[in-house]
Chains A and B, each alone.
Chain A
Amino acid sequence: MSACLDIRDLSAVLPNGQRVLRSVSLSVQPGEVRALVGESGAGKTMIGKAVLGVLPSSVRIVEGNMKLEGEDLGKLQPKARRTLIGARTALIPQDPLTALNPSRRIGPQMTDRLVRILGWGGEKADTRIRQLLDEVQIRDPDRVLKSYPHELSGGMRQRVLIAAAFAAEPRLIVADEPTTALDVTVQKQILRLIAELQREHGTAILFVTHDLGVVAKISQKVSVLYAGKVVEEADTAALFAAPEHPYTRALMAATPRYTDPFASLMPVDETVLAGLAAEIAAADQAWRRPHG
């Protein structure tokens, strides 16, 4: 059985030639949750956007390939690629406010997409949406479907977006820091919801986050990213038990623990970062040689 998502040696550059993704390889098996951790600017979101085909126009993919359920995205015509990505993937975005159109009611926003992707009639789509709203524990679907986004709370909006992401039964969902913009108390519920729906629907998730606590809770596999490069990749349990790369260890040491809230926070160790910088410089050097 082929992987749900298979990225091989993906490199992307900015117009000034700087690499933002450095030969990234990672795969997500069907029904698996793969976490992508790293600090901000590490390129986590960039990978998600590359998969979904919405990279900023300034970023250019120069090498590598991405296969979505065995289909090489780079070899498809743009239109066929859009259709494939539209049907097989979905996004749970970071900011639930800007991800919903403020001037349209929730109902039509959600059903339109199903009609578009699955070619369903309006009524069938409506039934499906209500079913999903129930799954994300929205108890008054009538009110929610008639609301404008600003009339709902942040947690409610994120629930709506989760329901929308799962509604068309995609094979892969990219969750881009879905809990970062939320209240801490709501974060936990949302995380639990995503995990629950993921299990029931058997959807593979590429879970982008900077929060190791979240990684431990939700994922089976982890890729640790630094400066657009995968520095370590492992099963979640193995990674937490015995992190191999010094950066991963430093990252874990920098995570605050609830068991000892008064311990002072540790920044990532300087020598580790210096080692990483050298590693990346060497990799870039090696990469440039054949690529001019």
Chain B
Amino acid sequence: MDEARIARRRLSPRLWLAGGWLLLALLAAIFAPLVAPQDPLAQDLMLERLPPFWLDGAEPGYWLGTDSLGRDLLSRLIFGGRIAFIVAFAAAIAACLVGSTLGLVAGYFGGWADRIISRIVDVWMAFPPVLFAILLVAVLGTGLSSVILAIGIIDWTRFCRVIRAEAMGQSRMDYVENARIAGYGRIGIMLREVLPNVVPSIVALLSLEMGIAVIVEAILSFVNLSISTDDPTWGGIIAEGRLSIHQAWWVLVFPLITLILTVLSFSQFGEALKTRFDPVLR
């Protein structure tokens, strides 16, 4: 027990590294107009395809270089983070609310409720998620709210399946039986005895889902189905960078690194939070 605890302490840099990156990216996104060195939309054909700062020909003030229209890459990444984070939070919370509620009901009540919800989940998961997302956005129309809605509609099953399994195990526990003997109602027991025990999993999934939402948003903007304004998005920058990979690799590489770091941080942060939240593991 003690050894395991010490090992977990040692692992907790994971929490700080992941949380640190997320906080940095989040703050940069929130205060984008203040921190971004340039206007992300300002085009200047005199400055096109400037390399990042450590290469010959770099201009001061354009740290990560510019794209083929002379727009500052760092500024575009920072502003792109705004959309990425808005989508991450809103979509993950939407998916979490729907999925966790249905999962809890299915797992705890069992019987018909479980059969119906589980069948819906099965059918839902038979759709390839990315195609489903593209289809949904095509139907709902492009725009921030449709992207959020699409991710929520697709990914609630992830919460539902995990929370259902956990609630099922919980409902067989003696303390649930004890609460029934004491005369508590079913919904009361679900909220009072079962829910607190699945919260660590919900937290971990929520963080994981935020990472997934970032990816899905990037995919949608990569195929130009995210938001239709001129605002930069990570997926959009990647799509542009792909076209000029031979002349300016940095336009592709930096947004990719940003995307990977963010998604990785979300999943690691979630795992670390789970251990923090769980009274038995803590």
Q: Name the interface size band of chain B.
A: 10 to 19
Q: Which of these binds chain A: B136-144, B170-178, B209-217?
A: B170-178
Nearest CB on A from B107, distance (A) = 15
B182 near A116 with CB under 8 A, answer yes
Binds A, one of B156-164, B193-201, B228-236: B193-201
Separation in Å of the A112 CB from the closest CB of chain B?
8
Nearest B-chain residue to A89, judged by Cβ: B181
Contacts A54-B180, A103-B196 given: A93-B174 contact, CB under 8 Å? yes
| B184 contacts across to A, CB distance below 8 A | 116
Nearest CB of B to A163, in Å? 14
Which residue of chain A lies nearest to B180 when distances are taken between CB atoms in the complex?
Answer: A54
Q: Is the CB of A100 within 8 A of B175?
A: yes
A8 close to chain B: CB less than 8 A: no
- The answer to whether B181 touches A54, judged by C-beta atoms less than 8 angstroms apart, is yes
Q: How far is the CB of B244 from chain A (nearest CB, A)?
A: 53
Which stretch in A59-67, A78-86, A189-197, A225-233 binds the other chain? Answer: A78-86
**A75 interface hit (Cβ, 8 Å):** no
A95 engages B199 (CB within 8 Å): no
A3 to nearest B CB, angstroms? Answer: 20
A52 sits at the interface (CB 8 A)? yes
Residues of A within 8 A of B197 (CB): 101-103
The yes or no answer to A117 lying at the interface (CB within 8 A) is yes
Q: Is the CB of A240 closer than 8 A to any CB of chain B?
A: no
The reply to whether A150 and B183 form a contact with Cβ atoms under 8 Å apart is no
Residues of B within 8 A of A53 (CB): 180-181
Interface assignment of A113: CB less than 8 Å from any CB of chain B: yes
Which residues of the partner chain A approach B193 to less than 8 Å between Cβ atoms?
A: 101, 104
Shortest A110–chain B CB gap in Å is 11
Contacts of A101 in B (CB 8 A): 173, 175, 193, 196-197
Q: Does A99 contact B (CB under 8 A)?
A: yes
Q: CB of A98 within 8 A of chain B?
A: yes
Bound Cα distance from A116 to B182, whole angstroms: 8
Give chain B nearest CB distance to A5 CB in angstroms: 14
CA distance A102 to B176 in the complex (A): 12
Q: Which residues of B contact A85 (CB under 8 A)?
A: 181, 183
Q: In this assembly, does A144 line the interface, its C-beta being within 8 Å of a C-beta of chain B?
A: no
The answer to whether A102 touches B181, judged by C-beta atoms less than 8 angstroms apart, is no
Neighbouring A residues of B192 by C-beta, 8 Å: 112
Instruction: Pick the residue among A54, A89, A103 that contacts B177 (CB under 8 A).
Output: A54
A165 to B: closest C-beta gap in Å: 9
On chain B, the residues within 8 Å of A102 by CB distance are 197, 279-280
- Known contacts A99-B175, A101-B175, A148-B279; is A91 also within 8 Å of B196 by CB? no
CB neighbors of A among B230-260 (8 A): none
B-side residues, CB < 8 A to A, are 173-175, 177-178, 180-184, 192-193, 196-197, 199, 278-280
Nearest 3 CB-CB pairings of A with B: A86-B183, A99-B174, A103-B196
Other A-B contacts than A54-B181, A83-B183, A94-B174, 14 sampled, CB-CB below 8 A, are A54-B177, A54-B180, A87-B183, A91-B177, A93-B178, A98-B175, A99-B174, A100-B175, A101-B193, A102-B279, A102-B280, A103-B199, A104-B193, A150-B279
